[in-house]
């Protein structure tokens, strides 16, 4: 059983988009290994995905226990990957879910 399923409480899902100098700062250029977003997600025990957009932003979805999703939202808004500059982060489609749609956190290409 994955870490998120072991934590009691409501499960949440939220879509996000991060604006600023946020691409090419680790993990999304086809390089081997996990990037900072994947590492933070796994540390927090959330699942979902991340992807670069053609507009120079990073978009994705996070799912997990509400408290952990909120921690990831804060990280995406204030910390981010090394060398990144976050101008703003928008969140949408935040909702309670009955089960997780993903088993881990990964990069989409």
16 found inside a domain:
no
12 found inside a domain:
no
Q: What Å distances lie between residue 66 and 9, 10, 40, 69, CA to CA?
A: 7, 6, 16, 5
Count up the domains in the chain and report the number.
1
CA–CA–CA angle 47, 36, 59 (5° rounding): 60
The pTM for the full model equals: 0.81
Q: What is the pLDDT of residues 25-80, one digit of tens each?
A: 544 443 334 577 778 888 889 999 999 889 988 899 999 999 999 999 999 998 87
pLDDT at 3 over 60: no
CB neighbourhood size of 44 (10 A)? 21
**CATH number for the domain including 86?**
3.30.70.100
The domain in which residue 89 lies consists of 22-107
11 found inside a domain:
no
Lowest mean pLDDT among 5-9, 30-34, 59-63, 82-86: 30-34
17 found inside a domain:
no
Distance between CA 29 and CA 25 in Å, rounded? 9
């Amino acid at each position: 059983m994955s870490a998120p399923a072991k934590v009691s409480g409501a499960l949440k899902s939220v879509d996000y988009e991060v604006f600023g100098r946020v691409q090419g700062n680790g993990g999304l250029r086809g390089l081997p290994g996990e990037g900072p977003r994947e590492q933070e997600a796994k540390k927090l025990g959330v699942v979902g995905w991340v992807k670069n957009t053609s507009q120079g932003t990073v978009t994705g979805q996070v799912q997990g226990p509400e408290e952990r999703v909120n921690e990831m939202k804060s990280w995406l808004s204030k910390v981010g990957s090394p060398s990144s500059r976050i101008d703003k982060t928008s969140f949408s489609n935040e909702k309670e879910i009955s089960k997780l749609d993903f088993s881990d956190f990964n990069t989409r290409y």
